[in-house]
Structure 1
């Protein structure tokens, strides 16, 4: 028993030896994992023409930034086109009627050509036996500085119903 007490350094040496063996085993395990990781990395990077992953990530980030800029530009273009389309005078309403109740057919007409903002014009043709008169009235927000007839108002309403 005196020998065990006199030689505590033997136990410390054995403990250190066990720790060294455990660390050696752990080192081999990590070495194998690192070898597999390098193999996977080499297969992943094979054929890309890039030597490290950092350059790939930087390149992808730059391309993403360019695409975001392109997306913003396209969005602005679409909004601009939408605004242009709304301002186009593409809503048309035609109302035919008989201007003179006692004779003739529905040969008179009112045509409204307006935008979504109700800007545009109304053309009215009053057909008589010997001649036809054509009148044009500008529209701003659905109103004209000239008096609108009920037939012209009907043509405007027909044009507005087509936009819906």
Structure 2
């Protein structure tokens, strides 16, 4: 069988194949036309009222805004660092113990208040209530979680409570 005989016998199949391929190409052209139209519309909308110079100035303005935002971010980060530094010396840990200073007096009107910063430095404030003589208040300094003066049992408890508290920040 020769090539021409082969073509003559299969003409119907060849025509159907070419027709199918043509239909496929037709649909592809339609899809590309629709996408191109959408792209043109977006371009027109983007360029409406803008010349090339105006568009360039708009882009430069946006870059200037970005540069200002970067500068502002750095300033804010510096301020946050200052705040964090200040927080290390603020009172962050607290312990309170109420007690009866004298056995004949009830109601636990005396107290010890421990106030510590992040580094466990601070004070113990002890207020001893005596109904006859009034109230006596004194302070003991705490450095690195320790006192150089002897502590009562209630003062030790208040200091331990503050050292173990989780009220501190950062």
Q: Same fold (TM over 0.5)?
A: yes
1:158 maps to which residue?
Answer: 161
The alignment of Structure 1 onto Structure 2 pairs a total of residues equal to: 128
CA distance in 1, matches of 2:147, 2:60: 61
CA RMSD of aligned residues (A): 2.9
**1:57/1:149 Cα in 2 relative to 1: closer, same or farther (>3 Å)?**
same
TM superposition outliers: structure 1 runs of 4+ over 4 Å = 39-42, 47-50
**1:86/1:152 Cα in 2 relative to 1: closer, same or farther (>3 Å)?**
same
- Where in structure 1 are there 5+ consecutive unaligned residues? 1-32
2:125 maps to which residue?
Answer: 123
**1:93/1:47 Cα in 2 relative to 1: closer, same or farther (>3 Å)?**
farther
Residue correspondence of structure 1 range 107-118 to structure 2 within 5 A: 107-118=109-120
Residue correspondence of structure 1 range 142-157 to structure 2 within 5 A: 142-157=145-160
1:23 maps to which residue?
Answer: none
* TM-score, scaled relative to structure 1: 0.62
- Where in structure 2 are there 5+ consecutive unaligned residues? 1-35
**1:150/1:43 Cα in 2 relative to 1: closer, same or farther (>3 Å)?**
same
* TM-score, scaled relative to structure 2: 0.60
CA distance in 2, matches of 1:49, 1:152: 78
**1:63-87: CA deviations, max 9, x gaps?**
2121111111111212221222332
CA distance in 2, matches of 1:48, 1:156: 71
1:10 maps to which residue?
Answer: none
